[in-house]
A and B are shown apart, each in its own frame.
Chain A
C-alpha cells in the first residue's frame, strides 16, 4: 500500500479549476517532487493534502487515513512547511518552537528536548534567543522547517521551502531534507526550481494548469523528450517576430522566450545552430551567450507544454 494516495482530487475557485482530477501515489521513504510553474495548482493541492482545504471531489489517504474522514489521525503524522514564513516575528526562535510544539500536543521535558533538537537541525541553537524579525531570510526558512519537525512526522510536506534565500541556507535546507529522508521520513517537495527537484527527488510529478501532465523518475521523464537537445540563447533587442521566425526553422520542436532567454528544443542542436544564428542576425538581435544542454526537467516541461517552467 502507498504511504500517500491522491485519488481524483479536484478543486475549483469560482470559474478557476485550480486542481483538476489529480491522482498519484507516494511510497514510504520516498522524496517525491511536485514541479510546476507558479499558478500550476501546486499550493492548492498542498493545502488539500494538509487539511487546509477540502477538495470538491476525490480523496487524499495518508498512511491509510482518509483526510475526508480521519483528518486528526493523519495530522499527527504529518509535518507541513508552508511557502510563507509562518512564524511569529516578535517572538524568539525558541518561543516560536515552544508554541508550535504545544500545537502538536507536546508538553514538559519532551517539548523542551524536541525544541532543542529542532534548533540543532536548523543549525541555530546559538541564536535561539533571537527574535525572528532579526533573522535573515535563510534563518527564518530554517526555523520554518524546524517548526514542522517537532512532533517527528512520518511525512513532511514542503511547499517551496527555499524561495528567496541565500545559497548557503539553500544548501543547508537541501542537506537537511536528504538527512531526514535517510532517517526514514517520506518527503513531498514542491518547487519551481528544477535543479532542487532534480537533486532531491526520486520521483517527480509535473503539474500545469491544475493537472498532472507527467509522472515518473527523472530518467523516465527525460525519456519523454527523447534525445532532443536544448539550445539556450541569451539575446537583446528581441522583437515579437523572433519566436515565429525561429519556430519556422526546420528541425525546431518547441521554443520559449523569457527574460531575453530563448530556449529551443531540437533533435540535433548542430543541425539548426547556424540557421538560428542567421535568423537572429536578420532580426537585428544581439547574441550575448549560447549553450547546448542535454535533456533535463526544464526541457521536459517545455516539450510538454510549449512553455518554460519559469513562465
Chain B
C-alpha cells in the first residue's frame, strides 16, 4: 500500500509546475551562471592549493638531509611545505589534521644508500584528503624508486668502468665515488619522474568550475527537492489527508514508508535528470565510473530524503517547513563549499564543512570527477547513509499525522 502512497506523491509533484521549475530549471540555470562566473578560480590547475606535510627524519644522515633540503624543500616547493618533526609530534599534527601525510625516513636510509642497498620511505596518512595523500605517496614512492633505479645504474656503470681500470669518479667528502655517481643519476631521473608525476596530477585535478558547481548545485537542489516533498507532507497533515489515510487500512509504518519512498524517488529522479542534463548540455564529466556516480547519488538522495522526513516531523505548517528547509539548505551549502570553493576557505571552515551533508556528498562526486576509484567514495557513502538513518530515525520518532 505504501507504493500507492509514494506514487500518488509523485503524481501530485509532477502537476506542480512551480515545484518542477525549482527542482529542475533553476539548478540548470544556476549551474551555468555560477559555473561561468567562477571559471577563473579554477584555471591554471590550482584546484589543489599548496599544503603542508610532515617529515620525520629518523636517519639524520647526509642523504636524509639531501632528501629533505634539495628534494622536498626545493623541488617540491610548489606543491607543499615541509614540517620536520619528531615521532610524537608527527602523530599529533596528523591527528589534528594539520597535515594529510607524514613521510618517515628510516634510520638506515643513508647507510643503505652508501652500501648500495635498496631504500624505502614510509608514508602515514589520514583517511580523508585522498587527493593530497595520493600526491605525497606518489612523491615518496617515486623518490624511492628513482634511488633504486639509480643504484642499479650506478653499480652497473661502476662495475663496467672498473673492468677497464677507469676511475669511477670523484668522491664527495664522506660520500663514496659510486654513491656520488648514483646520486647524480638519481637527480636526473628524479627530474624526469617528477615531471611525469606532475603531469599525472594535473590531469587528475582538472576539475572545471562547471563540474564543481554541477556537483555542488546538484546536492543543494537535491535538498530543495526533498524540501518540496516535505512541504507536501506538512500540507497533507494540515488538510488531514494524512490522518484520513490512517483511518483506512494502512498503518503508521506503511504511511511513513510510502512518504519516505516518495521523497526518495522524487530526489533520485531529480538527481538523475540533472546529471544527464549537465552531461549532455554542459558536457560535465561526472566520473568515468557509472557505479560510483550511481552509488554516491543513491546515498546522497537517501540522506536528502531523511533530511526531508526530519523537517516534515519538526515543522508545524508548510510555511515553517519551507522556511526551516531553505535556511538549513543555504547554510549547509555555504559551509559545505557549495558556493565558495572549499579549497579557498580557511581551515576552520573546512572543519565546519564536515558537519554538513553537502560536504560529504560533494566530496564523493569530486573524487569521481578527479578520476579516483570507487573505493575512495565508500567513506563518504557510509557517512551519508549514517546521516540519513539519523535524520529518518528522528523524523519517525517525531512524525505526527494530526
Interface, chain A (partner B; CB < 8 A) = 47, 50-53, 72, 75-76, 78, 80, 82-88, 90-91, 95, 99-100, 102-105, 147, 151
Contacts and interface: CB of A to CB of B under 8 A. Distances in A.
B247 interface: yes
Contact of A72 (B8, B239, B245, B249): B249
A86 B4 contact: no
Contacts of A51: 246-247
Contact of A84 (B8, B240, B247): B240
B402 A52 contact: yes
Contacts of A151: 248
Given A75-B249, A90-B15, A82 B4 contact: no
A95 B1 contact: no
21 contacts: A51-B246, A51-B247, A52-B243, A72-B249, A75-B248, A80-B244, A80-B247, A82-B244, A84-B240, A86-B240, A86-B243, A87-B239, A87-B241, A95-B11, A100-B248, A102-B1, A102-B4, A103-B249, A104-B249, A105-B249, A147-B244
Given A52-B401, A99-B4, A103-B1, A75 B12 contact: no
A103 B12 contact: no
Given A82-B240, A86-B243, A91 B12 contact: yes
Contacts of B248: 75, 100, 103-104, 151
Contacts of A80: 244, 247
Interface in B1-22: 1, 4, 8, 11-12, 15-16
B261 to A, nearest CB: 15
A302 to B, nearest CB: 32
B250 interface: yes
B246 A52 contact: yes
Given A52-B402, A82-B240, A87-B239, 10 more contacts: A52-B247, A78-B247, A82-B244, A84-B239, A86-B239, A86-B243, A91-B8, A99-B4, A104-B249, A151-B248
Contacts of B11: 91, 95
Contacts of B402: 47, 52-53
A95 B9 CA distance: 12
A103 B245 contact: yes
Given A51-B246, A72-B249, A78-B247, A88 B241 contact: yes
Interface in B354-402: 401-402
Contacts of A50: 247
For the residues of B in contact with A, the DSSP-based class is: helix
Given A91-B12, A99-B4, A82 B250 contact: no
Looking at B12, B16, B241, B401, the one whose CB has the most chain A CB atoms below 10 A away is B241
A83 B246 CA distance: 15
B251 to A, nearest CB: 8
A103 B239 CA distance: 17
Contacts of B247: 50-52, 75, 78, 80
A105 B1 contact: yes
A76 B247 CA distance: 9
A102 B248 CA distance: 9
B317 to A, nearest CB: 15
A86 B4 CA distance: 17
Looking at B4, B11, B240, the one whose CB has the most chain A CB atoms below 10 A away is B240
Nearest to B4: A102
A90 B248 CA distance: 21
B8 to A, nearest CB: 5
A103 B1 CA distance: 7
A102 B4 CA distance: 7
B132 to A, nearest CB: 50
A104 B1 CA distance: 9
Report the 8 A-B pairs with minimum CB-CB distance, sorted nearest first: A103-B248, A86-B244, A84-B240, A86-B240, A80-B247, A102-B4, A50-B247, A90-B15
Nearest to A87: B241
Contact of B239 (A85, A91, A102): A85
B12 A90 contact: yes
A68 to B, nearest CB: 15
Interface string B136-150: 000000000000000
Contact of A103 (B15, B240, B250): B250
A73 B344 CA distance: 62
Contacts of B243: 47, 52, 82, 86
Contacts of A103: 1, 4, 245, 248-250
A208 B142 CA distance: 87
A214 to B, nearest CB: 28
Interface string B232-264: 000000011101111111110000000000000
B365 to A, nearest CB: 34
B11 to A, nearest CB: 7
Contacts of B401: 52
B8 A88 contact: yes
Looking at B12, B243, B246, B248, the one whose CB has the most chain A CB atoms below 10 A away is B248
A189 B8 CA distance: 30
Nearest to A90: B15
Contacts of A85: 239
Contacts of B246: 51-52
Given A90-B16, A103-B1, A76 B244 contact: no
A112 B1 CA distance: 17
Contacts of B241: 86-88
A58 to B, nearest CB: 19
Contacts of A84: 239-240
B1 to A, nearest CB: 7
Nearest to A99: B8
Contacts of B245: 103
A115 to B, nearest CB: 14
A88 B244 contact: no
A39 B63 CA distance: 89
A134 to B, nearest CB: 13
B12 A76 contact: no
Contacts of B15: 90-91
Contacts of A86: 239-241, 243-244
A172 B198 CA distance: 82
Contacts of A52: 243, 246-247, 401-402
Nearest to A78: B247
